[in-house]
């Protein structure tokens, strides 16, 4: 699969424009550039900012790696969806829920935020810059991070002792933080390269030499999404509050604080999902729209399940309060 096939709408137009400057190889170098160098220029009218790429790209992995990453991402989505639906069904049932899992296998080993799959998510994102076939992480990596964040918020780590639970929760916090950093290392050069291709012209001094009328911003100015953002911090704070409540006890104040942090995390994850769907739809990428729409649907399904259980809890408390009033009146 060529770069013309994996890039979204703006990337395709940029690829065609870059053909005059060297074609596919130049486009790949610009979109994968890790370090841009600003040169002095004497042409302050037509080329006040002159940039060139000061880094080399080792090359893409084979398409087989892209197939594996795509299969892994699909499994992460399906497992998260399955346990979300299962929790929603159990939440509507008054009977006590059995231990979460499938055929005796604990849920934490089957979801992307668990101790078994989380290292694989980190490995994929850490090597994501070179995965550009079938499931290009420069464009679809945020969907994988959203799945990880939704899984971490939706499914608590299950452990017998407080020490083991603290280790699992701390590893999840560390995993979310590192996944955010790894994703930024993948997508920020891509967004920067898109900005360079869209609003620059080739100067002809070298293959990647560009003339710009404005400074080149890291991550570009068209896309506001970042992996390490307030969303990632909100998820991390929510996980830390869970750990504190589990170890030191869940008093009324700490329980409300934990619930508020988790609600803030869900709101920000949902906002990121909607923003990414809108951005990809505006760029015209059919595969990206489908991927981000599925993840957004999963996030809103989880939010619906949380809201449903909260309303059921409020209704149960009101019933208990009315029942106590009736007994006291008698």
**pLDDT tens, per residue, the chain with 330 residues:** 344 433 434 334 443 444 343 467 888 888 989 999 888 877 788 888 899 888 888 888 999 999 999 999 999 999 999 999 988 887 655 444 444 555 545 777 889 998 899 999 999 999 999 998 889 999 899 999 999 999 999 988 777 677 788 888 889 999 999 999 999 999 999 999 988 888 888 888 888 888 988 888 888 887 888 999 999 999 999 999 888 887 777 666 677 888 889 999 999 999 999 999 988 888 777 888 999 999 999 999 988 888 877 776 666 666 666 566 565 555
Residue 43 in domain:
no
The answer to whether the beta carbons of residues 122 and 145 sit under 8 Å apart is no
The domain of 145 spans: 57-190+220-329
Residue 131 in domain:
yes
| Tens digit of each residue's pLDDT (9 = 90 or more) over 141-192 | 999 999 999 999 998 877 767 778 888 888 999 999 999 999 999 999 999 9
Of 99, 76, 75, 77, give the one whose Cα is nearest residue 87.
Answer: 99
For the chain, report the end-to-end CA distance as a whole number of angstroms.
Answer: 77
Residue 29 in domain:
no
The tokens describing 253, both together, are 């104040």
Residue 298 in domain:
yes
The answer to whether the beta carbons of residues 100 and 106 sit under 8 Å apart is yes
Strand partners, 86: none
Residue 21 in domain:
no
Tell me how many domains the chain contains.
1
Residue 4 in domain:
no
Residue 300 in domain:
yes
Residue 204 in domain:
no
d(CA 117, CA 120): 5
pTM equals 0.84
């Amino acid at each position: 699969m060529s770069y013309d096939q994996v890039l979204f709408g703006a990337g395709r137009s940029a690829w065609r424009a870059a053909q005059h400057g060297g074609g596919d190889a130049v486009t790949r170098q610009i979109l994968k550039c890790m370090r841009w160098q600003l040169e002095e220029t004497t042409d302050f009218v037509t080329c006040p900012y002159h940039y060139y790429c000061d880094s080399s790209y080792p090359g893409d992995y084979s398409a087989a790696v892209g197939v594996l990453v795509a299969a892994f991402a699909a499994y992460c989505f399906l497992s998260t969806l399955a346990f979300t639906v299962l929790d929603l069904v159990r939440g509507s049932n008054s009977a006590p829920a059995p231990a979460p899992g499938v055929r005796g296998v604990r849920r934490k080993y089957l979801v992307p935020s668990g101790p078994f799959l989380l290292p694989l998510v980190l490995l994929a994102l850490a090597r994501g810059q070179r995965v550009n076939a079938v499931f290009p992480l420069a464009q679809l990596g945020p969907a994988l991070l959203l799945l990880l964040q939704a899984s971490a918020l939706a499914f608590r780590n299950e452990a017998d002792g407080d020490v083991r639970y603290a280790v699992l929760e701390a590893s999840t916090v560390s995993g979310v933080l590192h996944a955010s950093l790894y994703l930024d290392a993948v997508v920020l050069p891509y967004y920067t390269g898109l900005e360079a291709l869209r609003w620059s012209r080739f100067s002809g001094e070298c293959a990647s030499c560009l003339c710009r009328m404005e400074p080149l911003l890291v991550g570009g100015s068209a896309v506001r999404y970042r992996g390490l953002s307030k969303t990632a911090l909100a998820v991390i704070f929510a996980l830390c509050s869970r750990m504190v409540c589990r170890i030191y006890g869940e008093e009324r104040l700490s329980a409300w604080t934990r619930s508020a942090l988790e609600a803030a995390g869900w709101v920000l994850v949902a906002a990121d999902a909607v923003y990414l769907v809108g951005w990809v739809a505006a760029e015209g990428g059919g595969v990206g729209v489908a991927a981000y729409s599925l993840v957004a649907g999963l996030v809103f399904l989880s939010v619906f399940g949380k809201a449903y259980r909260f309303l059921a809890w409020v209704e149960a408390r009101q019933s208990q309060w009315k029942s106590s009033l009736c007994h006291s009146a008698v």
